[in-house]
Structure 1
Amino acid sequence: MIAYIKGKVTYIQDDSVIVDVQGVGYEILCANPFVFQTSLNEEVLIYTHHHVREDAQVLYGFKNQGQKSLFTKLLQVSGIGPKGALAILGSVNVSDFVAAVEREDDKFLTSFPGVGKKTARQVILDLKGKLTTMLSISDQPTTDNTIENDTFEGLSEAQEALRALGYSEKEIKTVIPQLQKESTSNTDEIIRKALSLLMKN
């Protein structure tokens, strides 16, 4: 298995990055490839999961071990494949997801694309108690569950508004990392911040 790849980021696409390792270009699928925008043409280390299917071999990439570990755990849940797991990682930080599983927060889990009530319950059934041993939830940005949910929902609503304004998924993905750092849960404020960032790009 390929545990990680260290090389120069030469190209960023909507759903992947190309990393040059001694003249060989590896295509690595990522939840949000644009988090590597600041490392373009620089050497990076990307943690990888080597997914082997009958018809293809795919590399999935992550910025840290926590994201990779959560990805591999999600693949063990019935009803969640690599694309679904990647979509989840692209919408939330690891700590918040672990906290949601531990408190059996169905509403939070069903906010993710492709995750219905049945799959959310399966996630809780399969993963509760199994994530905290390998992932730290002590660095949660918020300790109040309501604030966590409101922030997540505010970000989701802001993304929908940006799409309605005509921004592409590629453009929106470039500003998601910065928006996730915002402490506010107010949708309007998140949209204003996003527009400000988009105009700078």
Structure 2
Amino acid sequence: MIDYLRGPLVHLENEYIVMDVNGIGYRVFCPNPFAWAKHTGEITVYTHHHVREDAIQLFGFPSRDEQKLFRKLIEVSGIGPRVALGILSGGSPEGVITAIYQENITFLTKLPGIGKKTAQRMILDLKDKLDGIGDALIATGLFAQTELPMAASGDVWPEVREGLKALGYTESELDRMWQTLKHEVFPEDTADSVMKRALKMLYTGS
């Protein structure tokens, strides 16, 4: 099993990145490929090596917590790798874990591909199996509030902006991008979903 890859990023698309590891290009499907766009030099991606009859695929994550949570999610009946990837693209690992602990079905059903029955199965199957994943962050109370923001769309922008600045984007780049993006952000959007859209827009220039 391939547990992680380390090497330079050579290409990215909407759903995956390509890494060069010792001269071999590995296609790795990620929750948010564009988050890697500003990285230079070698990157480390924690992976899940998924094998089925008609395909062998790699799914990759920036942290062990996301890797572990992904592996727990695909143990739930009705959640395959693609749905699990969508869950992680729609919410942070800490937010998803907290929602499961709090039995917050409203939050979980806002995630891509998750209906009420699947949300209930997630809670039933995983509530007692997530020890060691994001515990330190949850214990601080930083992620106690898991309801998706329902205020004006611009309310999530300050958080997204700070995250983008940390990745190396300039004030002028962010100001130009926001003039377009703000028309495509809705009250129910989370900071994570807006971040993914913003990164794609910054990378593609559209």
Q: SS in structure 2 opposite 1:5? A: strand
1:187 deviates by 4.3
Instruction: Specify whether residues 199 and 64 from structure 1 end up closer, same or farther in structure 2 by C-alpha distance, changes over 3 A only.
Output: closer
1:154 deviates by 5.9
Q: SS in structure 1 opposite 2:11? A: strand
Instruction: Specify whether residues 52 and 111 from structure 1 end up closer, same or farther in structure 2 by C-alpha distance, changes over 3 A only.
Output: same
Q: 2:19 aligns to what?
A: 19
What TM-score, normalized to structure 2?
0.72
**1:23-69 Cα distance to aligned partner (Å, 9 max, x none):** 110000001001111115x2111000000010110000000000000
**Would the aligned equivalents of 1:16 and 1:27 in 2 still touch at CA under 8 Å?**
yes
Q: Which amino acid aligns with 2:103?
A: E
Q: Percent same amino acid among aligned pairs?
A: 36
Instruction: Specify whether residues 119 and 196 from structure 1 end up closer, same or farther in structure 2 by C-alpha distance, changes over 3 A only.
Output: closer
The aligned runs of 1:104-143 (5 Å cut-off) are: 104-131=103-130, 133-140=131-138, 142-143=142-143
Q: SS in structure 1 opposite 2:147? A: helix
1:144 deviates by 4.7
Separation (CA, whole Å) in 2 of partners of 1:58 and 1:117: 28
Q: Which amino acid aligns with 2:35?
A: V
Q: 2:55 aligns to what?
A: 56
Q: SS in structure 2 opposite 1:139? A: helix
Q: Which amino acid aligns with 1:76?
A: E
Instruction: Specify whether residues 3 and 103 from structure 1 end up closer, same or farther in structure 2 by C-alpha distance, changes over 3 A only.
Output: same
Instruction: Specify whether residues 62 and 22 from structure 1 end up closer, same or farther in structure 2 by C-alpha distance, changes over 3 A only.
Output: same
Instruction: Specify whether residues 144 and 43 from structure 1 end up closer, same or farther in structure 2 by C-alpha distance, changes over 3 A only.
Output: closer
Q: SS in structure 2 opposite 1:108? A: helix
1:12 deviates by 1.0
1:196 deviates by 9.0
The answer for unaligned runs of 5 or more in structure 1 is 159-173, 180-185
Aligned pair 1:91/2:107, yes or no?
no
- Residues paired across the two proteins, number: 172
RMSD over aligned Cα atoms: 3.4
Instruction: Specify whether residues 39 and 115 from structure 1 end up closer, same or farther in structure 2 by C-alpha distance, changes over 3 A only.
Output: same
Q: 1:169 aligns to what?
A: none
Q: Which amino acid aligns with 2:89?
A: G
**Would the aligned equivalents of 2:98 and 2:144 in 1 still touch at CA under 8 Å?**
no
**Would the aligned equivalents of 1:99 and 1:137 in 2 still touch at CA under 8 Å?**
no
Q: Which has the higher contact order (CA 8 A, sep 6+)?
A: 2
Aligned pair 1:38/2:4, yes or no?
no
Q: Which amino acid aligns with 1:23?
A: G
Q: SS in structure 1 opposite 2:37? A: helix
Instruction: Specify whether residues 178 and 110 from structure 1 end up closer, same or farther in structure 2 by C-alpha distance, changes over 3 A only.
Output: farther
**Would the aligned equivalents of 1:74 and 1:85 in 2 still touch at CA under 8 Å?**
yes
What TM-score, normalized to structure 1?
0.74
Separation (CA, whole Å) in 2 of partners of 1:66 and 1:111: 21
Separation (CA, whole Å) in 2 of partners of 1:7 and 1:199: 23
Q: 1:103 aligns to what?
A: 102
